[in-house]
Each structure stands twice: as structure tokens, then as C-alpha cells.
Structure 1
Amino acid sequence: MTAMPMTDAPAPASGSRPLTRVLIANRGEIALRVIRACRDLGLASVAVYTAADARSAYVELADDAYRLEGTGPQETFLSIPALLAIAHRAGADAVHPGYGYLAESGEFAAAVTAAGLTWVGPSESAITALGDKTGARAVAEAVGAPIARGSAGAVDGVEEALRIAEEIGFPVAVKAVHGGGGRGFRTAADARELPTAFEAASREAAAAFGRGECLIEQQIVAPRHIETQCLADAHGTVRVLSTRDCSLQRRNQKVVEEAPAPGLTAEQEQVLAEASASILSHVGYVGAATCEFLLGADGRLSFMEANARIQVEHTVTEEVTGVDLVAWQLRIAAGERLPEAFPAPRGHAFQFRINAEDPAGGFFPSTGTITACREPAGPGVRMDSGVTEGFHVGTDFDPMLAKLVVTGEDREAALARSRRALDEYRLEGVATLLPLHRALVDAPAFAGSGHTVHTRWLEEDFMPGWTASLTPAEQNGAAAPAEDVEVVVEVDGHRLTVCVPAALAAPPAPERRRSRRISRRGTTVAQDISGLTAPMQGTIVAVDVSPGDRVSAGDRLAVIEAMKMEQPLKAPQDAVVKSVAVAAGAGVRSGDMLIEFED
């Protein structure tokens, strides 16, 4: 395809220029999303990929594609020299970072600019000002945005953390100064929990962002997570397009998002818009941004952080405003001015993250090959997907496979369409969050008019009473029958689905919606009684026991990192530790013996 500069863009601002060929420094569904925006604007797209992604849709649909040599994220998608080398080789004149860690890297932004390329994102100075929570907090204070009590900056160790926590009062939140996406975040209800929380947050932050500094803030109990989607151009204009609610989370990772945020008062919406615009204007921000807030049960708002990139959940804002946010990132990078106003939000939209995780097994990442994939369609249904049948899900990258986005004329209509779309969705070969999503859209606290969920509701209130094996009727209190499986039969040409005892099914039916399979509850993974084995390939980041220790069922024995997430490995039973075969930092494969128990 021959790319042409954007014909409807005015003369670029100082330091900007028309774009023709864009390198996309990311993979999967976000790479495909940027490729489509480029195509709509008449721009050529250049994809980068590893061997695992060679047959991915984004690689095939890009105008050009180059392989990243190396293994693992650090040598491929996080390697600035490798990405810039391909940009020059491909003749790109701009770089779009997607929404990976490099999207909020001032170093990457500076390197792209120094290489003579256009950076599709905010300047290095704006990223630096907002890229760590200490700086963002200082900006919020400077413009009078609402903030929670906390440390003035990074905390120097556990002792200082304990002192500050006593001053501001428990419970507290420990937050990584650098980075985002829920990594490096822990909470502590009291002084006993704080050392462990601080250690875990620091370790996870260092692994994810290369820096482990953390700050302490007073935790807002049972808050909602509210965001604003913003755009800012190089001419000093900031527009706040819509709010979002991202309160359905586990381990500070979002599961479902919606726009606009339900139940906000006009005063709250005004505070959110004014605070967001002031924060971004203060640092001379240019590009797409998200400002994140907590809304307490008492109605008070507290600014958390600003994300200097397009967010995973940008889709719901696009659906209720009709604005192509990714296209506007590119248009802004070329110097275009924002319009006097964007359309007011209309209707309601939900996004469901289709992650390769087992919700019935402690949200443990799932790997394998996708053996069947049928995505939903129809009015109000959008799929942002990076996988197809035959795709292999590994451990090197984020577990998100796709995003299902559903829109309706109001929240009730959007929920009804969501139920239909989730019923249609078939994805087999790896465990996903689909069974959980199907249950959530019928949960009264979330789907009801009261909307009483908060950021801990999913983990603390919903998950303890939920198992993936139950049908919606059983979730509402009906007794579950003995182990059954679904079998499809034909009677006089009439296709029927019937439940039969598992022993009569030969072979057992593949896992489908509402199949009655035994679900794992209470421990992170099923383990042999002789010891604890690695549930999947990953890196051991902590070992909590030594030979001779006596442990109880549910005690944390070790922590493994896989798919950019830490997972606790717990004792399956009361036991005495016989031997420990691994140490922190060790790489392990699925099935490796980690900790052996005495007979």
C-alpha cells in the first residue's frame, strides 16, 4: 500500500510534521488497533513481532513487518535499540508505543525524538512529571486537585513506612512510585501486614519497571475506581471526553470497565473534569491521557495518578462518544488542533477483558493452544482481538487475549447485549475469564440499579461464593447436581444439548459454558501431596519456607512470576517441609518440584 500524508490535517505545530509510516512498538490486539487507525488515516503501518507472533493477525494485516531477534520481553518488545533499529530499517517516520511499559517511558520518548522520528505520545518532560506517583501527586497539589494523605515521596524502607502509616492512620496503600497497571501495589490493614506488603510491592515494582521505590498513602476503604479520558494538543487545548468506572478488579488488575461511570453527581463530574484538565495543562501534556481517581463511599474524590498513554479500556469511551482516540493520537502527533468540542457521551458501554487466566484457580495464568475460537457479533458488539484458533498462549507476555466491548442505548440495554454476546463467545484450549464474566453480568451488586461494587468487591465479596462449575440458576442458590457434562445429540434432526453423568460421556465433552467440572477452590493450584510443584513456566521471586518448617494448608510457600504477574503458591495441606529445591531468581518449568514434604 502506498501511504499518503493525512490530507485533512492542518499545518503541523512547531516540531511536528505530517506522518506517513508508523512503527508500532507493541503486539497483539493493541498493535492491530493501531494498524486499523493508520489504515483509516491513509498511513502505512510497520509491525514488529517475535517467533511466537509470526502468524498473528496484526502481523499479517500490517503493511510491513519485521522480526525482533531475541528471547523474552527485555530483548524484544522492551529493547529500545532493537525497536529503533527496525524503525530506521523500515523507513518509519513515527513510533506509536501502544500501551506497554515503553508507552510511559521518558527514555523511549527521548530516544525516538533523538533518532529524528515523531513520538506518538507526550513529551519526555510530561512523562517525567506524571510518570511516577510522587511527581503526579506534587502536580495535583499544585493545581488544587483532591488527594489522599500520604508520604511526600518515596519511602526509605519499612521503618519509615511504619512511621508514616502510624501518622496518617491504617489501613494504608503501598504504591510503586514508577509504573502502573496495578503492578507494585499492596495494601496493609495494620502494622503487622505492612512489612510484607512493602516488600512485595517493592519487589514487583523492581521486576516490572526496573525501580522498586514505593510511597505510602492512606487507603480509602471500599472505593470506586473512576477515570477520565482526555486528549490534549500541542496548542494548549485539553478536552475531557468521558468518565469510566473500572472498579471490578482483582489484585489491582481490571476485569470489566464501563463508560460513562454510573451514579456520579453533576458536582463530582465537574471536579473530575476540572482536576484532570488542570493537571495535564500544568505539565504541558500532548496526546491521549487518563487521569485516575478513587471515589470513597462518602462521596469524596481523591486523585491517584495519570497514565501517559492510551489505556486498555479506551474502547468504552470510543463507543459512547464516537471518537477514534487512537486516530486522534496520530493526528495530534502530526500537529492537528483539537475541535472546539467533542460529542457528549451517549448510551453505555462495557468492556470485558478476555484474559488467559483461571478464575476458579485463583486467577492463575493459563497456557496452551487455542483449539476453538468463535467470537460474538451483531449490533452493539465490538471485538478487539489478537488471537485465532491455533494461537499458542505462552508465558512471556501479558495474559490478555482479547477485549469484548458491548454498547447499548443505556446501561440496562448494554447489560442485556453483554449477556447475549458472552453466551455466543466460545474460546477453548486455555482457561479464560469468560465464565466469570457470564456470572458478573447477572450479579445484583454489579448489574442492579444500585451499583454497589467497589475495588475489593470482586475478591472479597463475590469470588468466595462463586465457582465456575455452577450454572446461573445454581449461582442463585439452587442445589448443584452430581458431576455432569453437556453432550450434544440429534433426535429426528432436532439438535439438543443434554446433561449426562460424566462417567457416561466417552470421551468427556470439551469444557464449555455451564459444564459441570470440578473446580479448584481454596488453593492457587492443585498439588500432589508429596510436595509443591511449579504450575507453569516462570521465575521464582520469593521462597518463604526452609527444611523442617511446619506449614498449614493455605500458607504461602513461595511466589512465582509468570505473564508479568506474581502468583502466590500455597500449601495444599498441613505438612512438614523436607527440602527446598529452588531459590529466589530461579527459572522453573511446569511440573518442576519446588518444595518436598516429609512422608
Structure 2
Amino acid sequence: MFSSVLIANRGEIACRVIRTCRRLGIRTIAVYSEADAGARHVRLADEAWPIGGPRPQDSYLRGEAILEVARERGAQAVHPGYGFLSENADFAEAVEAAGIRFIGPSAASMRKMGSKAGAKDLMAAAGVPVVPGYTGEDQAPETLAREAARVGYPLMIKAAHGGGGKGMRIVREAGEFAAALESCRREAANAFGRDRVLLERYIERPRHIEIQVFGDRHGGTIHLGERECSAQRRYQKVLEEAPSPFLTPALRARMGEAAVAAARAIDYANAGTVEFIVAPDGAFYFMEINTRLQVEHPVTELVTGLDLVEWQLRVAAGEPLPLPQEAIAARGHAIEVRLYAEDPDAGFLPGSGRLARLRLPAPDAHVRVDAGVVEGDTVTIFYDPMIAKLIVHDADRPRALARLREALAACEIGGPKSNVAFLERLVRDAAVVEGRIDTGYLDRQPDALRRPADAQADAMLRIAAAVDELLALEDDAARADAGDPGSPWAAGDGWHGAGTGRVRLRLRDAQGAFDAHAEGRRGAWRIALDDAAPVLAEGAHRDGPWLSLRLDGTARRFRIGGDRDVRLVHDGERRLEVARVLHEARGDGADAGAGDRLRAPMPGRIVVVRAAAGDAVAAGQDLLVMEAMKMEIAIKAPRDGTLAAVAVAVGEFVEAETVLAELEPAP
């Protein structure tokens, strides 16, 4: 076994590899960009070294800089994690040429899979089912358009190199093809450095099921079962689980055999994933082999009881596979979701900023948390905005879903907006609960998983927040006059010389500010929200994060998080953030013309400018394209009109809310 390993990555996967290395007594060497100088993986590693600027191309994609650190620090092996250089055959080859072991497949195996086009041809020759399409080297737009007509619509344009959902477009008619091809190529070039594409027939309503494979350097190849990753948004996985609720034992066996055949066809060693799309009738087709560890590998670990990073290390060190195929058994059900800094109500726009509050459930036998950040860290604009992965395991799928709901309810993320509330709705959605989801489900109904309106439930959450504040006020007052607990001045109930008065709490949630008028004292309050009828709150008791009370005679229990300034109130299904209002902001009309100003929705780089000052534009027309958080964001005209100015140029970095362009005032 190795005595030292350099981890050529960042975030939660770097922390994940460090955890296993530490258990095995292996010294870890981290690398970091300028943006990550204070990152968690840097703090956890035994030593860490800078490799360049904040952009990936200036740091984590600089293979020679990483290799130089490995040589100077005496690393015996390099673990690439996933993303960045993990599937770069040139980097793997350079590592091995330096006398350092690459913890992954050989460069030769990578090159066979590095091109999706070549991989499809190879798999077809090996008898693995593939989707009809075009994988040729002639990339002329007219050739691709002609081949698209031959393949037929709908079809998918895919970057031939890379993965992670980048460089993929669905085209449903010929008139959309040219624009989709241009966008796909540009995104592929930015993400992977190459813009070659392939075309595939688009299978309607498929499921995405992948098989974890493992090979050693002694000819051994096995699979560790499947993971279903059909819950996706824009080709990005949202929820992953094992085993799949769709597969029958017979179909599971056929797919496992096909995955092993695919791995053997390229002499595969170490961890890899064979990805398939599965039609509603059970027909399955090869998509690609990811020649690395996957983000969702923890669900396989939880159902098999194996540490896949340890297996990677042992295989890379020359050991045979720890177990034969017949010894691999799946137990129970595991589900993973990814917590992101993003705004589901704004089209899942990625976010950034300091994590002022980050509370995640305590790990136990049923809950696992893989995180690359802690409270106080910053989600930067330069990398994927994933905060953590939440993985649960239980005896069967219904119980695993129940565990996941409970774990999500305990999550608090303050600072950038997050997708936690969206995930809570997702794991209660009927199609998800019943296992009926396909890869296009979430994109077909963008509004279905938005927070549903429920005025009565929100009112109860607001009253719970008010009660918790009233309890805190009384506690504050009691502490302030602890020497005379009988003093009326020690009560936080609005008492005055004429008797008990009313307390007015000014609060705010996502729907705006409101007043909670309370009369009474500890044990019983009558609370009215604005002009609504009062509710009697009795028996209020705070026990850790739990607030129990009776509302108009009905016992209720709420989870309370956050702090005195911003409370997170959760009733078991819905969450609401309620803030104390200390100062009211007053609008002065200074930005009355903001509707004619197109602003950057987040920090990013301008990659395309499609219009100039003086151009006539139509509502919904793409005027600029930004790149941020590894995705493209089109900036569209809000109305018909004429452009008065374009304030940015291609290549320029902008901050959130920067004015990008302005329309002339409407006539």
C-alpha cells in the first residue's frame, strides 16, 4: 500500500479521499487554487500546496503544476477524484511516466473511452447495445445537419469528450439544429477544450441506470450493482439511488453482464461506471463509460458495505480485487441528494457567497454527509456550487425515503440560496415516491415542484416563530432581573402599570413583512397576524430544536433552527425562514427604470454578445450569454424595443447586478 497520496482535486471528493487515506495510515498531500487557500480539503490534508489562480484552467487543470508538487513532495500516487483531470489520458500518462502511480484506469483505456464517438463504435463491436446515431470525424455543420436528418428527430447533440451533463442539447426539429449545435460546441470547448460532437437518437422518457464496475491489473473484472439516476434537471443528477426500483432481477443481471463486457473490452482496471439509458419497455443502450469514481458512489458503498476509495487504492497498488463477483451482495436501499447553492425559484440559478449558517444532520448508521465546506466557508463563482451530499440507508425504499425527509428537515443553509426546500418537495412527489420518474420528468414540469401556496400552513409557521420569539424575550427579561424574579419588569409580556399590554413583533418572511400582535404571558398568548383572527397558543415548551405547543387546542410540534435574527421554522413538511425586522427599508424610486436595464443575475464571464446599441430587439431575444458555475445563462430582452447601450464585451468578468445592457425607454 502507498505511504503518501496526492489528491489532484478539491471540495467534497478531496475530503472524501482524505478520510479513507487517514483510516489506512496514508499521508495526504492536497493542492489548492488562490480561491481555495482556506478551503476545507486544505485544512484536512497533512500538507497542501498552491498551484495557481482561481480559475480551473489556472490551477486544477494545470497537470504539470500538480505533477511538480507530486514529485517534489514524494507522492507515491495521485488520486484525481472526479472532474478536472480525472479522465485526462495525457495527465494519467504523465503521472505514470514520472514513476508515480495514477489511481485510475490506464491512459490507453481512457483514450478508448475519452471520445464518446469511439466508445460507441467499440461497444457496438463488443456486442453491447448502442443508440443509433452519428459518430463520424467529419464535423462540418452541413455534414452534421445532413446526418441529423438521417438519424431523425428528436435527437441529442453531445460533446464527444467530457461528461457531467455539459455540452448536451436536445433538438426536436431541423430549424433548431444550427443554434443548438453552436451552443453545444461552445460549451464543450469551454468545459473540455474540444468541441467535437456526436449525434444520437433521443429516446423518449428513458431512465438513466448506471452499473458500478471494478477491474484489477490481474484480469479480474466485476460489477457492484446498479444505481438509478433518472431524477435529473438539465442532465444534472438530482437524486440517485440503489437498487433501482425499475429493474427486474432478469434485467439487472443482463445489464450487469453487459457492463462487465464493456469494461473487459477496454482492459479496464480500477473504478468505473458504465452508463445506460433504459427505455420504458426495458430495452437498454450504452451511453458511456465514466473512467473515474462517480459523485454518487456513496449509494453503492452503503448498500454493499464497501469502501470504493479503499478498493481504488488497493487496485492501483497492484493488489487483486478484494472480493469475487459472487461475494457482492446488496443490502437495503440507499438514496443520495446533492445540496447546492442555487435558487430553484429563479430557474436553479447557481449561487455564491459565504455560508453564514450551515447545519447538517449528524451522521449515524442511517445518515451519511459528504461535504467539502463548513459553516463560514465560501461558495465561489469558479467551481461547481455543490455544498454537500446527503446519503441515507435503510432496510427498504420507503424507509430510506422517510430517513431522507427527516435528514433534509434538519438541514439549514444561510447565505446563498439553496435547493433544500426543493429537495424536500421532490422526495414527497408522487412520481418519485412510486418510482415512476424518468430523465425528463423534472424538466417537463418546471413549476410542479415549486413551493405550493398554503396560507393556513404558513400562518401556523409564522405563529410558531412568534411564539419562539416571545419565549426568548421572556427568558431575556428573566436573566436581566435574575436578582428579583418576581419583578414585573422581568416579564417580557408588555406588562405596565395599568395591567398586561400587547406585544407587537415585526417579522418578515419571503412574502414580506407582517405584524404578530400577542397578548398574555408564558403559558398562554392570544396571537393575531396583522388583521387576522387571533389564535390561542398554550403550553409552549422549547426542548433543544423542538418547539411544542397547542394552537387553539391542537397540539403541534415544530423544528426551530437559525438564530434570533433569522429563525428557520419547520412543521415536518414545509419550512419557512422568519426574520426579525429591526429597521424598515423605504424605497425612494431611484431605480424606477430598472425594468429597462438587463443585469447580471450572478457573477460570471461574458462569452457571447449578440446585439449592439441601436439594434431593434424582440421580447425574449437572446442578447448576451454569460458563463457562470460551469453553465451558460442567456440574457434575454424583457420587451420589444431598441438597445440604448451594451455595457460589456466578450471575455469580461462581471459581478452580480452589473448592468449589462439598457433598452431605450418605452414610447
Matches within 5 A, 1:92-131: 92-131=75-114
What is aligned with 2:132? 149
Is the contact between residue 380 and residue 417 of structure 1 (CA under 8 Å) also seen in structure 2? yes
The correspondence for 2:345, drawn from 360, 368, 375, is 360
- Tell me, which stretches of 5 or more residues in structure 1 are unaligned? 1-5, 7-18, 518-526
What is aligned with 2:597? 531
Which stretch has the larger CA shift, 507-516 or 452-461?
Answer: 507-516
**TM superposition shift of 1:118:** 0.5
In 2, Cα distance between equivalents of 1:123 and 1:551: 52
Which stretch has the larger CA shift, 266-275 or 143-152?
Answer: 266-275
What is aligned with 1:9? none
CA deviation vs aligned residue, 1:110-134 (integer Å, no higher than 9, x gap): 1101111011011110000011101
Compared CA separation, residues 487 and 155, structure 1 to 2 (3 A): farther
- SS state at 2:85 partner: helix
What is aligned with 2:576? 515
Compared CA separation, residues 343 and 270, structure 1 to 2 (3 A): closer
In 2, Cα distance between equivalents of 1:246 and 1:329: 23
**TM superposition shift of 1:333:** 0.2
Is it true that 1:278 corresponds to 2:256 in the alignment?
no
Is the contact between residue 357 and residue 431 of structure 1 (CA under 8 Å) also seen in structure 2? yes
CA deviation vs aligned residue, 1:331-374 (integer Å, no higher than 9, x gap): 00001111223431111111111111111111111111101111
Is the contact between residue 154 and residue 215 of structure 1 (CA under 8 Å) also seen in structure 2? no
In 1, Cα distance between equivalents of 2:222 and 2:652: 47
In 2, Cα distance between equivalents of 1:483 and 1:546: 49
**TM superposition shift of 1:259:** 0.9
What is aligned with 1:381? 367
Compared CA separation, residues 169 and 56, structure 1 to 2 (3 A): same
Compared CA separation, residues 505 and 55, structure 1 to 2 (3 A): farther
In 2, Cα distance between equivalents of 1:334 and 1:367: 39
Normalising by structure 2, what TM-score? 0.80
CA deviation vs aligned residue, 1:395-445 (integer Å, no higher than 9, x gap): 111111210001111110000000000000111111111111000011001
Is it true that 1:465 corresponds to 2:448 in the alignment?
yes
What is aligned with 1:48? 31
CA deviation vs aligned residue, 1:477-522 (integer Å, no higher than 9, x gap): x898799797353466899xx99884336998467663279xxxxx
The amino acid of 1:69's aligned partner reads G
Is the contact between residue 486 and residue 499 of structure 1 (CA under 8 Å) also seen in structure 2? no
Is the contact between residue 35 and residue 53 of structure 2 (CA under 8 Å) also seen in structure 1? no
CA deviation vs aligned residue, 1:37-76 (integer Å, no higher than 9, x gap): 1112221111112343333332222122212233321121
In 2, Cα distance between equivalents of 1:75 and 1:512: 43
CA deviation vs aligned residue, 1:571-592 (integer Å, no higher than 9, x gap): 3344432222233333222232
The amino acid of 1:176's aligned partner reads A
Q: CA RMSD in A?
A: 2.7
The amino acid of 1:579's aligned partner reads A
In 1, Cα distance between equivalents of 2:259 and 2:178: 33
- Tell me, which stretches of 5 or more residues in structure 2 are unaligned? 476-506, 517-563, 579-592
What is aligned with 2:514? 504
Compared CA separation, residues 232 and 485, structure 1 to 2 (3 A): farther
Q: Sequence identity of aligned pairs in percent?
A: 43
Is it true that 1:261 corresponds to 2:234 in the alignment?
no
Is the contact between residue 487 and residue 505 of structure 1 (CA under 8 Å) also seen in structure 2? no
Matches within 5 A, 1:142-291: 142-291=125-274
In 1, Cα distance between equivalents of 2:569 and 2:147: 50
Is the contact between residue 131 and residue 285 of structure 2 (CA under 8 Å) also seen in structure 1? yes
Compared CA separation, residues 136 and 505, structure 1 to 2 (3 A): farther
The amino acid of 2:324's aligned partner reads E
Normalising by structure 1, what TM-score? 0.89
CA deviation vs aligned residue, 1:434-491 (integer Å, no higher than 9, x gap): 111000011001112xx22111111112x223334x47x68xxx89879979735346
- SS state at 1:193 partner: helix
- SS state at 2:175 partner: coil
**TM superposition shift of 1:321:** 0.6
Is it true that 1:568 corresponds to 2:637 in the alignment?
no
The correspondence for 1:487, drawn from 447, 460, 465, is 465
Is the contact between residue 273 and residue 292 of structure 2 (CA under 8 Å) also seen in structure 1? yes
CA deviation vs aligned residue, 1:378-401 (integer Å, no higher than 9, x gap): 441000001111111111111112
What is aligned with 2:522? none
Compared CA separation, residues 361 and 98, structure 1 to 2 (3 A): same
Compared CA separation, residues 401 and 542, structure 1 to 2 (3 A): same
Considering fraction of residues, name the structure with more strand. Answer: 2
CA deviation vs aligned residue, 1:181-220 (integer Å, no higher than 9, x gap): 1111111001011111111111000000000000111000
What is aligned with 2:397? 411
Compared CA separation, residues 196 and 53, structure 1 to 2 (3 A): same
**TM superposition shift of 1:294:** 0.5
What is aligned with 2:40? 57
Structure with bigger RCO (C-alpha 8 Å, 6+ apart): 1
Name the larger-Rg structure.
Answer: 2
Is the contact between residue 24 and residue 95 of structure 1 (CA under 8 Å) also seen in structure 2? yes
Compared CA separation, residues 152 and 368, structure 1 to 2 (3 A): closer
In 1, Cα distance between equivalents of 2:143 and 2:71: 47
Is it true that 1:307 corresponds to 2:293 in the alignment?
no
What is aligned with 1:447? 433
What is aligned with 1:11? none
**TM superposition shift of 1:272:** 1.3
Number of residue equivalences: 566
- SS state at 1:103 partner: coil
Is it true that 1:369 corresponds to 2:354 in the alignment?
yes
Is it true that 1:20 corresponds to 2:3 in the alignment?
yes
The correspondence for 2:55, drawn from 72, 85, 93, is 72
CA deviation vs aligned residue, 1:93-124 (integer Å, no higher than 9, x gap): 11000102300000100110111101101111
The amino acid of 2:359's aligned partner reads R
In 2, Cα distance between equivalents of 1:570 and 1:485: 41
The amino acid of 2:272's aligned partner reads A
What is aligned with 1:134? 117
Is the contact between residue 465 and residue 569 of structure 2 (CA under 8 Å) also seen in structure 1? no
The correspondence for 1:327, drawn from 281, 306, 310, is 310
In 1, Cα distance between equivalents of 2:180 and 2:155: 10
Is it true that 1:591 corresponds to 2:640 in the alignment?
no
In 1, Cα distance between equivalents of 2:616 and 2:302: 54
The amino acid of 1:369's aligned partner reads R
In 2, Cα distance between equivalents of 1:225 and 1:516: 35
Is the contact between residue 486 and residue 515 of structure 1 (CA under 8 Å) also seen in structure 2? no
The amino acid of 2:88's aligned partner reads S
Is it true that 1:391 corresponds to 2:452 in the alignment?
no
The amino acid of 1:531's aligned partner reads R
**TM superposition shift of 1:533:** 1.4
The amino acid of 2:332's aligned partner reads G
In 1, Cα distance between equivalents of 2:449 and 2:637: 22
Which stretch has the larger CA shift, 337-346 or 172-181?
Answer: 337-346
- SS state at 1:220 partner: coil
Compared CA separation, residues 482 and 323, structure 1 to 2 (3 A): closer
**TM superposition shift of 1:268:** 1.9
